[in-house]
Structure 1
Amino acid sequence: MDKFRRSLLLAPLALTATAAAAQTAAPDTAKVVPGWPAPTATIDLWPKGVAGQVHPDMKEVVEETSTDPAIKFRRVQGISKPRMAVFPAANPTGGAMLIIPGGGFWWNYFDHEGYALADYLNQHGITCFVLFYRLANDGWDNKADVATIDAQRAMRLIRKHAAQYKLDPKRVGVIGFSAGGFITASLATRHAQALYTPVDDADALDARPSLAAPIYPVQSLDPAIAYDGTAPSLFGGPATAEQIARYAPDHNIDARTPPVFLTHAEDDTTVPVANTTVFRDALKAKGITVETHLFARGGHGFGMKHDLDQPYHIWPQLFVNFARSQGLMG
């Protein structure tokens, strides 16, 4: 039994509940496995709902992709009620992380790229919020922006709830995987862009993360190195020069881009490692603090799998060290 499995089987069960009667429950709450990380609450992003849904009858679909009964690798699509699953730290340091799972803009893999990381970071005093965001391929009028809009709103709502969860609103970071890494990098570089009409007082708060960690991220829109599903998912075809300039994170770095932590496997055949190295070089060119860890093996999507025979299993501790150095824990 590897370290990942042991930590999950021994972790205390947190009963899933909603933050208030009006909040939408996290997906698949009826199938919580004893010992598996589970949120204590949820926070809806948009209390009056969202516009622009192409398929009004869209339903959430949850699939289990693991064949091991002791391990869960669930994924969900059809998210029409974007929300955050809340994982409060038992001994909070005041730091918080917004966690954005990946899934190629088709799915949200919320276990090994969401709940398991939240459970791990909770042990370091970091309260976590796992984002169930709108997926470009579910069909939205503004599909290139909807996930970044949800991420902006999520950051503002975390800050609005800072007192409730014993958080310092100045110490809220973001971490995301693969396509979620694109959203993470987009939030880090486009946090100040007015992408939606404010709906309440939370939207007066800052969406800038205190640090960002795109993990094996979809990032570039350069056809030579881009994940081949990015442009079709976001734009319906090849990206134009104007779309690259507007949406590619490496084209939108400025002085307010926060410190960045990056990790990727050199043998990733789904999202080329150049997505990370190009972003790293662009950050360095703008004088932004960046820490980069590249592993020889690991492929794509290793998340919190923690295979002890693979060096990549140490990346969460490397991230915690970086987060501490950047003041996330106070």
Structure 2
Amino acid sequence: MKTWLSWTLGAISVVCGGWTAEAQHRNPDAQIVIWGHLGAPGTAEIESRLEEVITERSGEPDRIRDRYAVGITQPRLLVFQPERPNGAALLLLPGGGYQRVVIDKEGIESAERFNQAGVTVFVLLYRLPDEGHEQGQNVPLQDAQRALRLIRSGAVDATVDPARVGVIGFSAGGHLAGSLATRFDAGVYDQRDTVDDVPARPDFAVLVYPVSRMSGPAVHTGSRNRLIGEHPDPATVATHDLVSAARSDAPPLFLLHAADDLAVPVENSLDLFRANRARGVPVEMHVFAEGGHGFGIRFAEGLPVGDWPDLVLAWMERGGFLAD
């Protein structure tokens, strides 16, 4: 079995990385650096002073992994292929408050669950906005647009149906997924190659306990401050607030939240539901009494909210996204 380090590209430091190749954990089937030899926009100015670090938070990494990444300069897709792909694909954007990118809890574990239904999953390790990048507030969306274009182009996996490419995001990753669903045509980077001719609009979007508000009582201040600063001007707030940015040609939307979420209040999803419904966007929402924040797969087990992947898959099937 290949270890994590054998899959990475570039110089990486691992903090507390105490797991071995013998541990029974799923590793990516492939890994794709999304900007290739061209490098991510603006990276040359920061690459020499920013080092990628992967930190393991689990006390028992041989049994369960709980890693996150910071300092990402080579954003990349971790590809998880099902045994019997049905053509559906998900670009998966883990959370981390725009301070880190969670790898296992919301990334790989969710990918494995959707693999079981035949969905090919691409976990994106995206650049973080508050690490000194020249266009900090745009770098996550730059990576998300590029990743979706790569997936849809067939350059990553030829089994993917270009008409059934969706996005799923968690927490701040939910904000990024929502930004992709509303700013898919925003010119946040200059064209690099023919891949950038491919539309970046996802065919459907799934937002799990998403950050959506950039102002008001429901705002997650940490995510907001790292993305657009503590005192953004009204125009910047309007651009990045998913409720303000709602548009009638956004893709069908699935929202999931727990009412007892103390980190990202449920109003983030409730407001988003109302805004998209008012604009005629097909939207489905599920609110559970229990679950808190950041439950992913592992912390939802044994609770009603633990059925959330099945709800998403049933919605995808009804929408014609799961299979031909």
Q: Same fold (TM over 0.5)?
A: yes
Answering whether residue 26 of structure 2 is matched by residue 37 of structure 1, we say yes
Give 5+ residue unaligned stretches, structure 2: none
Answering whether residue 211 of structure 2 is matched by residue 221 of structure 1, we say no
CA contact (8 A) 1:17 1:42 kept: no
Aligned AA for 2:166? G
Runs of 4+ in 1 over 3 A off after TM superposition: 13-19, 22-34, 52-55, 162-165
What is the DSSP-based 3-state SS (H/G/I as helix, E as strand, rest coil) of the residue aligned with 1:264?
Answer: strand
TM-score (norm 1): 0.89
Equivalent of residue 56 in structure 1, options 48, 63, 87: 48
Aligned AA for 1:87? F
1:33-84 Cα deviation digits (max 9, x unpaired): 6332210111111121121554632111111122344211111111010110
CA contact (8 A) 1:17 1:40 kept: no
Quote the Cα distance in structure 2 between the aligned partners of 1:170 and 1:125: 16
Quote the Cα distance in structure 1 between the aligned partners of 2:33 and 2:81: 16
Alignment of 1:49-198 (within 5 A): 49-50=39-40, 51-52=42-43, 53-54=45-46, 56-69=48-61, 70-161=63-154, 164-198=157-191
* Structure 1 residue 163, shift from structure 2 partner: 8.0
Quote the Cα distance in structure 2 between the aligned partners of 1:264 and 1:80: 31
Quote the Cα distance in structure 2 between the aligned partners of 1:256 and 1:66: 42
Question: Are the structure 2 counterparts of residues 127 and 280 from structure 1 closer, same or farther at C-alpha, using a change threshold of 3 Å?
Answer: same
Question: Are the structure 2 counterparts of residues 167 and 89 from structure 1 closer, same or farther at C-alpha, using a change threshold of 3 Å?
Answer: same
Aligned AA for 2:209? Y
Quote the Cα distance in structure 2 between the aligned partners of 1:286 and 1:265: 24
What is the DSSP-based 3-state SS (H/G/I as helix, E as strand, rest coil) of the residue aligned with 1:76?
Answer: strand
Aligned AA for 2:53? V
Equivalent of residue 285 in structure 2, options 292, 300, 309: 292
CA contact (8 A) 1:89 1:125 kept: yes
Answering whether residue 293 of structure 2 is matched by residue 304 of structure 1, we say no
* Structure 1 residue 326, shift from structure 2 partner: 1.5
Quote the Cα distance in structure 1 between the aligned partners of 2:234 and 2:85: 45
Deviates more, 1:158-167 or 1:199-208: 158-167
Quote the Cα distance in structure 1 between the aligned partners of 2:295 and 2:201: 27
Question: Are the structure 2 counterparts of residues 157 and 17 from structure 1 closer, same or farther at C-alpha, using a change threshold of 3 Å?
Answer: farther
* Structure 1 residue 142, shift from structure 2 partner: 1.1
* Structure 1 residue 309, shift from structure 2 partner: 2.8
Name the counterpart of 1:5: none
Give 5+ residue unaligned stretches, structure 1: 1-12
Quote the Cα distance in structure 2 between the aligned partners of 1:241 and 1:172: 33
Deviates more, 1:298-307 or 1:27-36: 27-36
Quote the Cα distance in structure 2 between the aligned partners of 1:240 and 1:77: 27
What is the DSSP-based 3-state SS (H/G/I as helix, E as strand, rest coil) of the residue aligned with 2:315?
Answer: helix
Answering whether residue 35 of structure 2 is matched by residue 46 of structure 1, we say yes
Aligned AA for 1:64? E
Quote the Cα distance in structure 1 between the aligned partners of 2:156 and 2:281: 30
Quote the Cα distance in structure 2 between the aligned partners of 1:196 and 1:244: 20
Aligned AA for 2:254? F
* Structure 1 residue 267, shift from structure 2 partner: 1.0
Quote the Cα distance in structure 2 between the aligned partners of 1:317 and 1:255: 27
Aligned AA for 1:155? L
* Structure 1 residue 238, shift from structure 2 partner: 2.3
C-alpha RMSD of the superposition = 2.3
Quote the Cα distance in structure 1 between the aligned partners of 2:317 and 2:11: 32
Percent identity, please.
Answer: 37
Pairs aligned (count): 316
* Structure 1 residue 190, shift from structure 2 partner: 0.5
Question: Are the structure 2 counterparts of residues 158 and 32 from structure 1 closer, same or farther at C-alpha, using a change threshold of 3 Å?
Answer: farther
Aligned AA for 2:91? L
Equivalent of residue 322 in structure 1, options 312, 315, 319: 315
TM-score (norm 2): 0.91
What is the DSSP-based 3-state SS (H/G/I as helix, E as strand, rest coil) of the residue aligned with 1:245?
Answer: helix
